[in-house]
Structure 1
Amino acid sequence: MTQRLDLFTTAPDLMKPMLAMEETIKSSGLEHSLIELVKLRTSQINGCAFCIHMHTHDARANGESEDRMHLLNAWRESSLYTDRERAALAWTESLTRIERTAAPQSDYDAVATHFSPREQVALTLAITTINAWNRLAIGFAIPHPVAQEANAA
């Protein structure tokens, strides 16, 4: 894959609000591990190799287990996720696939059970933001790093 352009070189002023949103989400009070699961699951759904690579590395560096990352695609069938994480992951899938799901009331009800109103906004912004990052990375064909992984394969 050949990268189409470098976002930060081409339009640094336009990227500043995206970076600011990341900082806002990071300081929102949501658990870092939850944010990384949401980012990773969204990136899996969207097929964003760059973001999957980034968020598996970030999650691992912050203590996430290999099993939870490997089973994330099948989180509904795994006992490794808390009820709070399950609610967040269902909401993540609903909003990422909104053209199909229309964000059903049952998914919202689960989020409302496990997240305060402020946390609901923070979670929804985290989902919205990673969807935007996925579209930027895929749209501009941003490749993931391959140095160590290529050698291991």
Structure 2
Amino acid sequence: MLEKAQFHSIPNKKSASSKAAIAALLHACPNIEKYAVHGENLDVFYYENGWEGTPAHLDVELDLDPASIKALPQGLRDPQWGGHVELGLSGGKEPGAIMEMPLPLWLCGLPVDEDILSSRKRDWVQQKQFLAISQIQPNSF
């Protein structure tokens, strides 16, 4: 998946560290590659001055193919999630992934309410959650 990722507005001097950060993300969140198996590509956007108060930041987006969505838990197949995955990678002194929706949380192995996964509940209160990724070098991008 890393080989097909599309990197947008990444400065040349940050290209290698940005690719290494995406590789670390895919290692930390193996469900991304496990479930995105129908030709999906990652889109990665660079924000040098951060995003929502973070240091330099990579915005990572993925639209799951309908065939990939069929393999997800029932609640994550709900059209309200749309198969769209978006998360941020912070490249500051404590690098890691920032996310707030059930789909990326689940793909990264973070807890998601069983009522959401089973579709007994459709309400989701957006709250930022952080997954530290020690394989990303601090202040590397």
Normalising by structure 1, we get a TM-score of 0.25
Normalising by structure 2, we get a TM-score of 0.26
Structure with the larger RCO, 1 or 2 (CA within 8 Å, 6+ apart): 1
Q: Which has the higher helix share?
A: 1
Q: Which has the higher strand share?
A: 2
Of the two, which has the highest radius of gyration?
Answer: 1
